[in-house]
Amino acid sequence: MKLMVVGCGGVGESIIKIMKERDPEVQWLQKVVMADYDLAKAQRLEQELSDDRFLAEQVDASSREALVALIKKHEIDFVMDAALPFLTNTIFDAALEGGANYSNMGVWTVPQDEPNCYGIGKECFREFMADYNFDRNEAWEKKEQLAIIGLGIEPGTIDVFAKFAADYLFDELHTIDIKDGANMEEPGGGEDDVAFGFNVWTVLDECMNPNITWYKDKGYVCAEPFAGEEIFEFPDGIGPVKLYQIEHEETVFMPKELEDRGLKRVSYKIGLDDNLVHALKAVKALGLRSMEPVEMNGAMVSPRDLVAKVAPQPDEIDENVFGKTCGGVLCEGIKDGLQRKIFLYQTTDQQESVERFGTQAVVAQTGFGAAIGIELVGRGIWSGCGVKTPECFDSVPYMKLMQEAGFPFGMVEYDSEYKADKDRRELEKLFETL
Amino acid sequence: MSGKKVLVLGVGAQGSAAAKKLDQEPNVEKIICADRDPVAVESLVKTLKKAVGTTVDAHSKDSIVEAAQGVDLILNGLPLECTKNVLDAALEVKANYQDYAATNSLHEDWVESIRIQYDVYGPKFAEIGKLALVGTGSAPGLICAATRDAMRYLDSCETIYNIVWEGVEAKRFLPFWWSPVTALFDMSEKAYAFENGKLIRTEAFELPITRNYGDDGAEVTFVEHSHDEPVHYSFNAEKYFKGAKNAYFKYAGAGVDFAKPLYRAGLLSREPETIDGVEVTPFNLVLKHIPPAPKYKEEIKQIIDEGLVTDSGCMVIEAYGKKDGKDVMVETHVNAPGLVESYELAGITAEMYLTGQGGFLFSKLFLNDKYDQTGLISSDMISMEQVDTYFEYAKELGITLETVVKEL
């Protein structure tokens, strides 16, 4: 595989480092072009990795022509998009034009500037989640190229979990509720500190766009930002976390691929720190999320660009933070005729992540989600053509590779008819041996 | 003074509220309303009986002097950067002077600017036999008079807290009930506290204290806020505040809750950032997006009709010290109308009411010849007799003090 990673920020760097760790013997990874607008950033990484396969390049990812030229120059066969969300469609198009396969970790959506049409349907959006990509499926199929959209942790690993649950843990999968939460703490940090925890652009988009829950009987239901507040108890010592609905791809991807498994609802909720919620609400109230330029000092400036620039960046808050972050699918349905409820999840420890990759847990998690998918394509295990989501592929090799790569998953089996029956049978089996 | 002539400089929220009150005073013969905006002047003047209007350029002392000829009192409701010109004009026309907050126009360092007011302008006003009274709104102003009142219950004072909770919150997005630029500046600036006999700088939104001053005794958290009072008290601790060694200004309210996360997210920074080749200051971008404080009657009515989340608030003075050898705390609550009551009384907001009335009461002492001082004083330097008179006048406006002395 000749890979080009576009964007060498936190997640891009994380992917690149995992790729190096995963194929030290050059079995399937021949070249990695690390392309960033800031060449010095890519060059620092090149120096750090000290491996001839990893090359730094400068690229303006808003220019399709520049991206295509780079793809052709290095004969790239796979483009991994780790750039800012608003660049994703350009990179997607460039990969198609340049003849490479492609993957991203999230899609670009455009809500109405003042959505006042919350409720059922897509009216809150000028450009609905992933429509841009799915609408071009035919072109990708025609050129026999593969685009896997949403291949990070969420979407990505989480979609693989849903597929696995549908294939192996349930006969009928009725609801998938995605839960993402953490218990990060910074000893000595101010109790009012605002931490975005992820790319500020992405946080602004996901938290302040209308969020979507999918219902079989209603379709997409769009709610206002910060709806659906609830407390969810996470495993692995994380404990209770306050969650809110945010806009996320899974609520579109999962129904598309898994509706025929009996699906009735897909929701997405994430833990947001109170300080961040207050900050985002203030940003929203002021209209600073907007990309529409406003006049400042005689020139036009996009408010969101300024927010993204001055807000505390995730790579500034790594080393002193302790805790774990967890993402998983809470699934309910029927197995062997009995009602069942499970939580299939992945937890990453902050300090382990900093030590291993020099990035914070959620960034490494996202990088891992992508790297494992890329490796499966690189090794020819996942293949095909057209615009796909992770649910479209076999979940087993992905999950096996997770364990092998030190990115383990876990499962909680909740009280249910199925669990009671399983426990009873296990006890009976035990007593037979006594 | 009798049949007084008053020049009201600036017809914004403070100036227009003052002019309306002055218009009802028998001792006032003439009010000159002056502003750079002739339309604003005209719209105010036509509502008053004793007023005439004129335009001034407050960035020119001569323009102010021309408007101030023959007046007994200049009431300065202009932005702080204009204060030097107004003080100089008052000296030139030999008029008394009153303003609402300590200026930063005399020196780049605010404390030094205040010292210059006292030490340089004080003697100049004394020389012409006139009084300049600075910092006379609600805070500073009313709160300083109430703090002076608290001193009567102590033999010696150790620590003063001036505590303000702006608990009026509208359903619509309206984070500030007064000038957003002033509000955001005061909140995001390092504050001043008087601690162990010295002025120190404190971080914005830090040093929280909690008090059960909320509705039904609910806990409210107050934080540091850049304000004039600790600075004034530091200058006047020995003479007017029974030797106090510590003084703090603490503030809470929907505005704080709104501004704090913006500050923590770096959005109230005054350091320019380059965005797409354009230099932008985050503070200015935020400011551009904040709705102005409501000013007009119809607008205020509309906000009330839309509904309020809360209509609460408090202004409290806590003074810790000794009385008859015992450790005590004097807790003085300033009772004043909330938003709905202020609107019903005067068609204005609670903030405008308290600032306007607080300031007007100091003017009323001028109109009734109750000041025997000359020179320059801040509102915390009035005599106990003047404090008594001030609060006698205040009672008529529904502003009262409620004091308890608690043994510690």
Going A231 to A232 to A235 to A241, the CA torsion angle's sign is negative
3-state secondary structure of B47: coil
Residue with tokens 């009142």: B149
**Structure confidence at residue B105 (pLDDT):** 87
pLDDT band, very low/low/confident/very high, at B2 (cuts 50, 70, 90): low
| Burial (CB count <10 Å: 0-12, 13-18, 19+), residue B149 | buried
Say if the Cβ atoms of B260 and A192 lie within 8 Å.
yes
Residue A175 neighbours by CB distance under 10 Å: 18
More reliable by pLDDT, B241 or B294: B241
Say if the Cβ atoms of B266 and A193 lie within 8 Å.
no
Q: Does A233 touch chain B (CB under 8 A)?
A: no
Residue A75 neighbours by CB distance under 10 Å: 12
Cβ–Cβ < 8 Å for B180, B292: yes
Q: Both tokens of residue A287?
A: 């209209």
B-chain residue closest to A311, CA distance = B265
**Structure confidence at residue A193 (pLDDT):** 74
B-chain residue closest to A276, CA distance = B261
Question: A291: closest CA among A108, A82, A131?
Answer: A108
pLDDT band, very low/low/confident/very high, at B57 (cuts 50, 70, 90): very high
pLDDT, averaged across chain A:
92
Say if the Cβ atoms of A306 and B273 lie within 8 Å.
yes
- The greatest distance separating any two alpha carbons of chain B, rounded to the nearest whole angstrom, comes to 67
Residue B293 C-beta-side C-alpha neighbours within 13 Å: 20
CATH fold of B142-346+399-407 reads Dihydrodipicolinate Reductase; domain 2 (3.30.360)
Q: How close A71 comes to chain B (CA, Å)?
A: 27
**Structure confidence at residue B1 (pLDDT):** 47
Chain centroid offset of residue B275 CA:
37
Q: What are the structural domains of chain A?
A: 2-118+129-152+365-403 (3.40.50.720), 157-359+409-420 (3.30.360.10)
pLDDT band, very low/low/confident/very high, at B251 (cuts 50, 70, 90): very high
- Portion of chain B with pLDDT greater than 90, in percent: 73
B142-346+399-407 and B4-99 share a CATH fold: no
**Structure confidence at residue A190 (pLDDT):** 67
Residue A292 C-beta-side C-alpha neighbours within 13 Å: 8
Distance between CA A114 and CA A94 in Å, rounded? 31
Strands (DSSP E) along B261-337, which ranges? 273-275, 278-280, 308-311, 314-323, 326-335
Specify the CATH number of the domain B4-99: 3.40.50.720
Residue A250 neighbours by CB distance under 10 Å: 26
**Structure confidence at residue A314 (pLDDT):** 64
Say if the Cβ atoms of B265 and A192 lie within 8 Å.
no
Q: Identify any residues that bridge with B96 across adjacent strands, giving them in sequence order.
A: B73
**Structure confidence at residue A219 (pLDDT):** 94
Residue with tokens 């227009």: B16
pLDDT, tens digit, 9 for 90 and up, residues B349-365: 888 888 888 999 999 99
3-state secondary structure of B159: strand
- The greatest distance separating any two alpha carbons of chain A, rounded to the nearest whole angstrom, comes to 85
Residues of B in contact with A276 (CB under 8 A): 261
pLDDT, averaged across chain B:
93
Q: Which stretches of chain A drop beneath a pLDDT of 50?
A: none
Q: Domain ranges in chain B?
A: 4-99, 142-346+399-407
Touching B: A residues 298-327, CB under 8 Å? 299-303, 305-307, 309-312
What does each C-alpha distance from B308 to A391, B304, B338 come to in angstroms?
Answer: 49, 6, 11
Residues of A in contact with B286 (CB under 8 A): 286, 288
Cβ–Cβ < 8 Å for B326, B318: no
Q: Please give the average per-residue pLDDT across B376-400, as a whole number.
A: 96
Residues near B392 by Cβ (< 8 Å), separated by ≥ 6? none
